């Protein structure tokens, strides 16, 4: 290598975070001991299935850290001055991710033996390495926190109906299974009601689908306000709602259902501009848990009772 090439390589090395504060004579030593290699776009630098014995510092080009799983999704991008491989060199383990050259790259390769000698000569390298690891850890923590936040959002969305803000059928089924199991063990009573808005198809046809949406929101609000614990109600689908009453027998459930039926028919409906719309009524089917009954049989019983309420003229409660 020409003297001018050596100077320019050393100048370049000195600007890299790992070599911050490293004396010039040590940089010369690094230059003598460490190779610069060229890798081509698409080439793998690190792979979890292969042992790694060196740190690679990107002199030019870009690399991608990829999910080692089947999808190979890019997790992070690495650019000039950043290094890879330090974790497996430090702890002697396999690389935790796959690193692939995104473009053609020039890399400075520091073998693990060389790294430990380098740290002995210039302890500041250890500090620089810790900084690199700490910023990587910080980044990973942020990614973990963000993915936990997203997970909570997805879990919430998977169980909440966006139109009414009520729990959805999926949540209700899970909740009902749990409550049935609990009541079967404790011998406690449990009732459910199934509520269906009357003539809702013609309401939509006459006033429009958006007005229908507003009516469903009003029904949901009437249920929320009328129930002791709103968390026991869900939009079961379409214009149908289900409420669970743990610890409540059929007789007491009858009273609650009647109040709710009244609350729905009294509840004002307004369009999205706040203009009044005609109200709606609802029919309600009631069922109480029988010994050994499962969720589907209990829902079927409430559905059959609802059918009777519809047949008997609607806007009423049946068992």
Ligand X SMILES: Nc1nc2c(ncn2[C@@H]2O[C@H](COP(=O)(O)OP(=O)(O)OP(=O)(O)O)[C@@H](O)[C@H]2O)c(=O)[nH]1
User: Closest separation between CB of residue 299 and ligand X, Å?
Assistant: 17
Select the residue interacting with ligand X from 69, 209, 228, 291 (CB under 6 A).
Answer: 209
Residue carrying the six token digits 């009516």: 215
Binding-site member from 19, 200, 236, 245 for ligand X (CB under 6 A): 200
With contact defined as beta carbons under 8 Å apart, do 25 and 77 qualify? no
When the beta carbons of 19 and 203 are compared against ligand X, the nearer one is: 203
Whose CA is closest to 282, among 258, 299, 256, 252? 258
Pick from 36, 75, 40: nearest CA to 56: 36
CA distance 303 to 258: 17
- Candidates 74-82, 124-132, 135-143, 198-206 — which segment interacts with ligand X by CB under 6 A? 198-206
Which positions are annotated as active-site residues? Answer: 239
Coil, helix or strand at residue 36? strand
Name the segment binding ligand X (CB under 6 A); options: 48-56, 80-88, 194-202, 221-229. 194-202
**Is the Cβ of residue 38 or residue 201 nearer to ligand X in the bound state?**
201
- The nearer residue to ligand X, 58 or 277, going by C-beta atoms, is 277
Closest to ligand X by CB, 212 or 285: 212
With tokens 């000569």, the residue in question is 121
Indicate the angle between helix axes 124-159 and 169-186, nearest 10 degrees. 80
Q: Which of 239, 285, 318, 319 binds ligand X (CB under 6 A)?
A: 239
**Of 196, 217, 257, 269, which lies in the binding site for ligand X, with binding defined by CB under 6 A?**
196
296 close to 269: Cβ distance less than 8 angstroms: no
Strand bridging mode 98-101 / 105-111: unpaired
- What span, in angstroms and rounded, lies between the C-alpha atoms of 266 and 275? 16
* Cα 38 from chain centroid (whole Å): 40
The least CB distance from residue 195 to ligand X, in Å, is 11
**In this chain, which residue has its C-beta nearest to ligand X?**
212
**Judged by CB, which is closer to ligand X: 206, or 297?**
206
Binding positions for ligand X, 159-178, rule CB under 6 A: 163
- 213 binding ligand X? (CB under 6 A): yes
The span from the CA of 19 to the CA of 27, in Å, is 8
Counts of helices then strands in the chain (DSSP H, E): 10, 15
Interface residue with ligand X, options 201, 206, 251, 297 (CB under 6 A): 201
Binding-site member from 42, 238, 247, 278 for ligand X (CB under 6 A)? 238
Q: With binding defined as CB under 6 A, does residue 316 bind ligand X?
A: no
Q: Which of 82, 103, 95, 11 is nearest to 54 (CA)?
A: 95
238/268 with CB nearer ligand X:
238
For ligand X, the binding residues (CB under 6 A) are 163, 196-202, 204, 209, 212-213, 216, 238-239, 310, 314
């Amino acid at each position: 290598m020409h003297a001018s090439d050596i100077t320019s390589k050393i100048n370049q090395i000195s600007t890299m975070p790992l070599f911050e504060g490293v004396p010039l004579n040590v940089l010369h030593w690094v230059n003598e001991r460490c190779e610069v290699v060229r890798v081509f776009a698409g080439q793998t630098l690190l792979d979890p299935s292969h042992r790694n014995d060196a740190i690679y510092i990107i002199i030019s080009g870009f690399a991608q850290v990829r999910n080692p799983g089947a999808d190979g999704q890019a997790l992070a991008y690495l650019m000039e001055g950043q290094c890879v491989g330090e974790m497996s060199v430090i702890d002697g383990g396999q690389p935790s991710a796959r690193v692939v050259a995104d473009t053609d790259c020039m890399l400075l390769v520091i073998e693990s033996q060389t790294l430990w000698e380098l740290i002995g000569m210039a302890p500041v390298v250890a500090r620089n390495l810790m900084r690199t690891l700490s910023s990587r850890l910080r980044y990973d923590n942020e990614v973990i926190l963000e993915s936990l936040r997203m997970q909570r959002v997805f879990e919430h969305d998977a169980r909440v109906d966006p139109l009414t803000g009520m729990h959805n059928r999926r949540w209700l089924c899970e909740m009902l299974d749990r409550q049935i199991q609990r009541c079967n063990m404790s011998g406690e009573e449990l009732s459910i009601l199934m509520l269906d808005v009357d003539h809702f198809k013609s309401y939509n046809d006459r006033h429009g689908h958006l007005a229908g949406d507003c009516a469903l929101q009003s029904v949901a609000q009437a249920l929320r306000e009328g129930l002791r614990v709103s968390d026991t109600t869900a939009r079961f689908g379409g214009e149908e709602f289900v409420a669970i009453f743990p610890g409540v027998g059929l007789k007491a459930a009858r009273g609650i259902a009647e109040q709710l039926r009244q609350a729905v028919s009294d509840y004002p409906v307004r369009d999205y501009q706040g203009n009044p719309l005609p109200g709606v009524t609802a029919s309600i089917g009631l069922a109480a848990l029988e010994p050994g009954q499962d969720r589907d049989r209990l829902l079927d019983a409430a559905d059959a009772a609802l059918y009777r309420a519809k047949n008997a003229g609607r806007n009423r409660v049946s068992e």
